[in-house]
Structure 1
Amino acid sequence: MGALGLGGGLWTLGRALANPQPGRIERPGAIITLWLDGGPSQLETFDPHPGKAIAHGTRAIATAAPGIELAAGFEALAEQMAHVSLVRSLVSKEGDHERATAYLKSGYGPNPALAYPSLGSIVCAELPEVGVEIPRHVSILPSAWPARGGFLGPGLDAFVTGDPAAPLPDLRSPVGPERSAARREDLAFVEAQFAAGREAEVDATGHREVVAKAEAMMGSVQLAAFDIHEEPEAVRERYGDTPFGRGCLAARRLVEAGVRSVEVSLGGWDTHANNHELVAGLVGALDPAFAALIADLRERELLASTVVLCGGEFGRTPRLNRLEGRDHWPQAFSWAIAGGGLRGGQVIGSSDPEGGREVVDPRTIADLHATALVALGIDPETELVTPDGRPVKLSEGAPITELMA
């Protein structure tokens, strides 16, 4: 159960995180990350260069934001671009999937001596719980490396689940109410005997807290947030009949219920061969789901308090290889960001239209994280203390001021 992230963090953060800090937004917010696992091609998604050699035939379409184009296939998202901004000049030195994923999710380069918490874990730690009985940090359709709590403890790991078309497993006791109650009594007796004379050690494990939260979750009406079948058919159709589309709909429902961080993964972007064909299929799932999520959050007056991020661990090479694929390219790639009171319809930076490594107005992953934190009323300069006594800032980046409303 501890691995599922149902318990609280095992490390003391040095202050009462459950209390809002001065200057926070009125409704404590949330973050939704659409994780494009494998490294999406920026040229076939958020940074097309139509007519250039590096496009290799990729077309672009106009959007509702004047002057901003997306790659063909994003017709639904194009209509929402007045509420979405693009950072086209992200730079990184990590070209390996695992290392780059760790960097993108935490904002810190991989360190064998210290596991940094993911952005979602930080948001959960810094924003109040507000009576949520289900996990506050959720990963839907997770990749090989879902978001982790790092040095904040396993209690802030993401609770992982699959396609929302299926119900959550292991939520009902395999035995009747009387036998289930007897088992709980037996467990309480064994725990009490074990804790005698070692209360401090037992408390440090967080075991009793984890069990209590698991039991509360199993009986909570908030579990309905995972059930997308409660949504009208017309709403489900807007997101698309795909696992990813259903994941995005579940993300909206979870945020509405008070969950602080939801990550929805769409894998398959490691297009070393047949790039254009594979990306076209993936965009077919991403476009309706991303667009519907933005529109749905706006209609429910949730977008102002919810930051939405979309991107992967790096981009793809400007030129095709012999297999008509694009290889790893961390030198310049794109992410989309929306919500949280940030300005939409903006483009930050630009990549070289001729395929070079130089970018205009380069930004780091830490900058992207700092922007999201500020949008949620969290000071990125805040320092946490690791278990070995080392102070670490929530983010070493600088917020992107052009996106601040």
Structure 2
Amino acid sequence: MKNAYLKLDPASRREFMLRTAKAALGVSVLSGLDNEAFGAAEAAPTGKGGKAKAVIYLYMGGGMSHIDTFDPKTGETKGFKDPISTNASGIQLGGYMTKMAKQADKISIVRSMSSKTGVHEAGTYIMHTGYDPRGTIVHPTLGSWAQHFKGRSHATLPSSVTIGAGTANAGFFPPALAPVPISSPESGLQNAKSSVTDDMFKKRVSLMNEFDSAFRDKFRSPEVRAYTEFYDETMNLLTSKDLEAFDLTKEDAATRQLYGNGFGQGCLLARRLVQSGVRFVEVRSGGWDMHNYIDEAMERTGNGMDNAFAALLTDLKRTGLLDSTLVVLGSEFGRTPNINENSGRDHYPKVYSTVFAGGGVKGGYVYGSSDKDGKEVADKQVTVQDFIATIGAAMGLPVSEVVMSPSGRPFTVGDKGKVVGDIFA
């Protein structure tokens, strides 16, 4: 048994440990862990960056059209709706962004993003890690990087959470640094309570500790200590009143209605978690792979994002959290400037847009540009590595510091990306 366990790769070992916990303790520990996956840097300039105590990363899975959202055009690539004016002088948004148009004075838009991949899986991976996917190693995401450098953000709550379909891991960091995945914001940690009585649960924990003690004493490796830490932190969370942070029913009806359904409720949960001390929260929205009938898709998915994003900024401002919380919106690539034969847009990594707000970021600001048709970067190209490094710098992470993986390879936050310091106030 011992030899078979040690031959497993880290992901397989973690899966084994989680399933053992479920069988032994009567809990699945963390909601969504069994789901399949969702689809040296420059430091920030002196006095810029590092203000964000927390980050909310809104990820538009599938490839968000830049032209229909944050980089509208008026020529042949315009699309089905005209650009609209905003409350920020000189800035227009796509015609579907009616509510974000009233929040433009709070955001910085980067219109010169560019990636080398137009494939969903690889594009998603790099927009979360700053690294191209490799078969020999898994790279950490930003929540894990932050916990590595800064430690835990809360005594019992996790330091990072991912809301939406998919799995999350810590890359080459210990498993205790992995984000907690939440499948549904309404359900939260629905499997956090044991299916057995409190007395029986305590007996099972005691028995398992007794069973494991000889193994832990014999194998005093960092990896074994990491899994022990993972279990200890999970036990603390299971018995903490802080679990209420995951319960959306604690919000009043007016606030829940403000955010809307689906993705919006994920954004509301993100606000609750950040307010309670979670450092990094990702909220994932699907439905952006709009090859067909993009006007209908934008009326549905685009309007949902517009409402939720605007509600989140409004709510963070109302609760006094916007100055200390960086909100970032991104996608794995943009979509083709020209409408295709199916009234949709296809994959387009050459130029697309991302958005920053709060956390020391300028409001009513545009960095970089695409050309008049949205086909090429015209000014101030920003790579995915720059994007990741900029978020890291906003959190005050040492993005140029080299960290060695267990295999002895050097890595940095954002893979030597350059911080876009101009977006910081």
After superposition, what is the alpha-carbon deviation per residue over 1:27-68, rounded to whole angstroms, capped at 9, x for unaligned?
871111111000011111111113x10113321111111111
1:66-105 pair list within 5 angstroms:
66-105=89-128
Inter-partner Cα distance in structure 2 for 1:110 and 1:44: 29
In structure 1, what is the equivalent of residue 178 of structure 2?
157
- Report the Cα offset of residue 167 of structure 1: 4.4
TM-score normalised by structure 1 residue count: 0.89
Q: Does 1:293 align with 2:316?
A: no
Q: Does 1:133 align with 2:156?
A: yes
Inter-partner Cα distance in structure 1 for 2:396 and 2:402: 15
Inter-partner Cα distance in structure 2 for 1:167 and 1:393: 32
1:260-339 pair list within 5 angstroms:
260-339=279-358
Greater CA drift, 29-38 or 393-402: 393-402
Inter-partner Cα distance in structure 2 for 1:77 and 1:244: 15
Q: Does 1:363 align with 2:382?
A: yes
1:184-263 pair list within 5 angstroms:
184-196=205-217, 198-201=218-221, 204=224, 206-240=226-260, 242-263=261-282
Greater CA drift, 202-211 or 92-101: 202-211
Inter-partner Cα distance in structure 2 for 1:69 and 1:27: 28
Inter-partner Cα distance in structure 2 for 1:287 and 1:367: 25
In structure 1, what is the equivalent of residue 199 of structure 2?
178
- Report the Cα offset of residue 205 of structure 1: 5.2
Structure 1 residues 113 and 182: CA distance shift in structure 2, 3 A:
closer
- Report the Cα offset of residue 173 of structure 1: 1.8
- Report the Cα offset of residue 277 of structure 1: 1.2
Greater CA drift, 184-193 or 256-265: 184-193
Q: Kindly tell me the number of residue pairs found equivalent between the two proteins.
A: 385
Q: Is the 8 A contact 1:33 1:264 kept in 2?
A: yes
After superposition, what is the alpha-carbon deviation per residue over 1:347-385, rounded to whole angstroms, capped at 9, x for unaligned?
111112235334322111121222222222222112111
Structure 1 residues 47 and 307: CA distance shift in structure 2, 3 A:
same
- Report the Cα offset of residue 325 of structure 1: 1.3
Query: Structure 1 counterpart of 2:64, which letter?
Result: P
- Report the Cα offset of residue 2 of structure 1: 4.8
In structure 2, what is the equivalent of residue 34 of structure 1?
58
Query: Structure 2 counterpart of 1:142, which letter?
Result: A
Secondary structure (helix, strand or coil) at the match of 2:407 reads coil
Query: Structure 1 counterpart of 2:68, which letter?
Result: E
Greater CA drift, 372-381 or 331-340: 372-381
- Report the Cα offset of residue 330 of structure 1: 0.1
In structure 1, what is the equivalent of residue 398 of structure 2?
379
- Report the Cα offset of residue 280 of structure 1: 1.8
Q: Is the 8 A contact 2:83 2:94 kept in 1?
A: yes
Structure 1 residues 124 and 58: CA distance shift in structure 2, 3 A:
farther
Q: Is the 8 A contact 2:52 2:359 kept in 1?
A: no
Secondary structure (helix, strand or coil) at the match of 2:134 reads coil
In structure 2, what is the equivalent of residue 123 of structure 1?
146
Query: Structure 2 counterpart of 1:49, which letter?
Result: K
Structure 2 alignment gaps of length 5 or more: 1-12, 19-28, 31-46
Inter-partner Cα distance in structure 2 for 1:244 and 1:79: 20
- Report the Cα offset of residue 306 of structure 1: 1.4
TM-score normalised by structure 2 residue count: 0.85
In structure 1, what is the equivalent of residue 189 of structure 2?
168
Q: Is the 8 A contact 2:50 2:395 kept in 1?
A: no
Structure 1 residues 28 and 34: CA distance shift in structure 2, 3 A:
closer
Structure 1 residues 28 and 289: CA distance shift in structure 2, 3 A:
closer
Greater CA drift, 282-291 or 297-306: 297-306
After superposition, what is the alpha-carbon deviation per residue over 1:157-197, rounded to whole angstroms, capped at 9, x for unaligned?
3211122222422222222222222212211221123345x
After superposition, what is the alpha-carbon deviation per residue over 1:313-353, rounded to whole angstroms, capped at 9, x for unaligned?
00000111111111100000001111111111111111122
- Report the Cα offset of residue 90 of structure 1: 0.3
Q: Does 1:57 align with 2:80?
A: yes
- Report the Cα offset of residue 77 of structure 1: 1.3
After superposition, what is the alpha-carbon deviation per residue over 1:239-273, rounded to whole angstroms, capped at 9, x for unaligned?
11x11111000000101111111111110100111
Greater CA drift, 301-310 or 36-45: 301-310
After superposition, what is the alpha-carbon deviation per residue over 1:142-171, rounded to whole angstroms, capped at 9, x for unaligned?
34xx55321223333321112222242222
- Report the Cα offset of residue 138 of structure 1: 0.7
After superposition, what is the alpha-carbon deviation per residue over 1:258-293, rounded to whole angstroms, capped at 9, x for unaligned?
111111111010011111211221122111111111
Inter-partner Cα distance in structure 2 for 1:404 and 1:122: 21
Q: Is the 8 A contact 2:402 2:411 kept in 1?
A: yes
Q: Is the 8 A contact 1:132 1:258 kept in 2?
A: no
Pick the aligned partner of 1:347 from 366, 372, 377: 366
Inter-partner Cα distance in structure 2 for 1:374 and 1:246: 28
Greater CA drift, 119-128 or 60-69: 119-128
Structure 1 consecutive aligned stretches of length 4 or more whose deviation exceeds 6 Å? 23-28
After superposition, what is the alpha-carbon deviation per residue over 1:92-120, rounded to whole angstroms, capped at 9, x for unaligned?
11111111111111112223333221123
